Amino acid sequence: KQEVTQIPAALSVPEGENLVLNCSFTDSAIYNLQWFRQDPGKGLTSLLLIQSSQREQTSGRLNASLDKSSGRSTLYIAASQPGDSATYLCAPRGSGGYQKVTFGIGTKLQVIP
Partner 1 sequence: DAGVIQSPRHEVTEMGQEVTLRCKPISGHNSLFWYRQTMMRGLELLIYFNNNVPIDDSGMPEDRFSAKMPNASFSTLKIQPSEPRDSAVYFCASKEQGLFTEAFFGQGTRLTVV
Identified binder of partner 1 from the candidate list 23, 24, 32, 109, rule CB under 8 A: 32
Q: Measure the CA–CA gap between 30 and 15, rounded to whole angstroms.
A: 34
How many whole angstroms from its chain centre is CA 7? 10
Contact 44, 104 (CB under 8 A): no
In order of 17, 18, 112, the CA distances from 25 in angstroms are 26, 24, 30
92 binds partner 1 (CB under 8 A): no
Residue number, 5 or 65, with CB nearest to partner 1: 5
Minimum CB distance to partner 1, residue 51 (Å)? 6
Q: Measure the CA–CA gap between 50 and 90, rounded to whole angstroms.
A: 11
Identified binder of partner 1 from the candidate list 14, 40, 43, 113, rule CB under 8 A: 43
Minimum CB distance to partner 1, residue 63 (Å)? 17
Return the residues of window 46-65 that contact partner 1 according to CB under 8 A.
46, 49, 51
Of 89, 93, 92, 101, give the one whose Cα is nearest residue 9.
89
26 binds partner 1 (CB under 8 A): no
- The contact set with partner 1 (CB under 8 A) reads 31-32, 34, 36, 41-46, 49, 51, 89, 91, 93, 97-106
